[in-house]
Amino acid sequence: MKYITEYRDPHLVERYLAELHRITTRPWTIMEVCGGQTHSLVKNGILQLLPSQITMVHGPGCPVCVTPLHLIDKAVHLALEKGVILCSYGDMLRVPGSKMSLLEAKAKGADVRVLYSPLEAVKIAAEHPDREVVFFAVGFETTAPANALSVVHAHRAGVKNYSILASHVLVPPAMEAVLDDEEGIIQGFLAAGHVCTIMGMDEYYPIVEKYKIPIVVTGFEPVDLVQGILMVVEQLEKGEYRLENQYSRVVHPNGNPEARKVVEQIFETTDREWRGVGNIPNSGWEVRPEMAAFNANLKFHVNIEKAEENKDCIAGQVLKGLKKPHECPMFGKGCNPQNPLGAPMVSSEGACAAYYHFSRVAEELAV
């Protein structure tokens, strides 16, 4: 398949790795922002092939993982107590809330449905005018256009029993939060290519200049990642800092103007709480006041008190790149995909799940 198989070429990976080993003279700490990149690094054994001086740390690049506990509780409340048809992507169902997950709510009789597109939820709402339908709109900038488009379609079609529970988070403010953390050790970033496909690259130039740090927009295949790491290290070794685009076959500097237009039509920027990280100013999108009829938060007036995170879970430290998943004392023991203590063990993009399924550390713990 064009643009896939050639980016899994082992010989090209070997060439980039050889060059990395040749030029690396000092220890460097690089964060890959996206959980999809984390899974590819772990699954393909790339972490073991890098020079020993290079440390890859895994950032808060999983929107499911950073969805606040109280927002999951709110979705559960809507499904169980308000009797709505609660629609979601599959990853969200098993993420633990303070009392239960959406999957457990479904087992108790709630009408919770897994969909592949929010437009399916609009269709369900049109087919069931006597029921309220809520789509749990979780994601980075990548999924926001489809969620925004669902509101546009519902509005145009006069579907008044549809709304979204928005938990959209934005990547650049999270990168700044990581860099501002007193314990932060990041010296370079692999930026998430799919986010830049939508938003373009302009938001990253101020970060490069403010923090004097290299950022390389990178894809998800082995060649993408190893080449991206090489591009970051080349800058670090020379004492340079620039924004570069490794993923140029997909990412254009201005992103996708039509997608951005529909997002701006429906959403406005707001402060957002990131699970395990805390509140980050201007790091999320919420439905605009003029579209309040489609905002489930306002439509149902649900106030859920914030609950304490599980004290045994160090997901916050993992998401900020301060700890690796296997450094958690509960990893693979009290916390596993069948009994997750935190979202990073549940999500298909969670760092803990990646280590559990693909890392030798998990295999050693299982012995």
Q: Looking at residues 328-335, what average pLDDT do you find?
A: 88
Average pLDDT, the chain: 91
- The pLDDT-based confidence of 362 (bands split at 50, 70, 90) is low
- The pLDDT-based confidence of 293 (bands split at 50, 70, 90) is very high
Q: Among residues 58, 4, 121, which one has the least CA distance to residue 350?
A: 58
Q: Is the pLDDT of residue 217 over 50?
A: yes
For residue 179, the tally of other CB atoms under 10 A from its CB is: 15
Q: Looking at residues 60-67, what average pLDDT do you find?
A: 83
Q: 132-173, pLDDT tens digit by residue?
A: 999 999 999 999 999 999 999 999 999 999 999 999 999 999
Q: Is the pLDDT of residue 88 over 80?
A: yes
Predicted TM-score (pTM) of this structure? 0.90
Q: Among residues 220, 223, 225, 219, which one has the least CA distance to residue 10?
A: 223
Structure token digits, residue 194? 């799919």
Q: Is the pLDDT of residue 319 over 80?
A: no
Q: Is the pLDDT of residue 1 over 60?
A: no
* Whether the Cβ atoms of residue 172 and residue 215 lie closer than 8 Å to each other: no
Superfamily of domain 15-61+172-245: HypD, alpha/beta domain 1 (3.40.50.11750)
Domains 15-61+172-245 and 69-170+255-300 alike in fold: yes
Q: Looking at residues 73-78, what average pLDDT do you find?
A: 95
Q: Is the pLDDT of residue 263 over 90?
A: yes
Domain boundaries, the chain: 15-61+172-245, 69-170+255-300, 315-359
CATH topology of domain 69-170+255-300: Rossmann fold (3.40.50)
> Measured between alpha carbons, how far is 294 from 292 in angstroms, rounded to an integer?
5
Q: Looking at residues 336-356, what average pLDDT do you find?
A: 83
Least trusted range by pLDDT, from 222-231, 241-250, 343-352: 343-352
Q: Looking at residues 183-188, what average pLDDT do you find?
A: 89
> Measured between alpha carbons, how far is 94 from 67 in angstroms, rounded to an integer?
13
- For residue 367, the model assigns a pLDDT of 45
> What are the residues whose beta carbons fall under 8 Å from the beta carbon of 64, sequence distance 6 or more?
91, 92, 95, 138, 343, 346, 347, 349, 350
- The pLDDT-based confidence of 349 (bands split at 50, 70, 90) is confident
The residue ranges of DSSP E strands in the chain, in sequence order, are 28-32, 54-58, 85-88, 112-114, 133-139, 162-169, 188-192, 215-218, 243-245, 267-274, 278-287
Q: Looking at residues 58-78, what average pLDDT do you find?
A: 88
Q: Looking at residues 338-360, what average pLDDT do you find?
A: 82
| Category of 3 on φ-ψ map: left (φ > 0), alpha (ψ -120 to 50) or beta | left
For residue 309, the 8-state DSSP code is: P
Q: What percent of the chain is predicted at pLDDT more than 70?
A: 97
How many residues does this entry show for the chain? Answer: 367
Please give the backbone phi and psi of residue 26, each rounded to the nearest 5 degrees, phi first.
-140, 165
- For residue 363, the model assigns a pLDDT of 56
Q: Is the pLDDT of residue 364 over 70?
A: no
Identify the helix (H) or strand (E) that includes residue 105.
Answer: helix 102-107
Task: Determine how β-strand 28-32 pairs with β-strand 188-192.
Answer: parallel
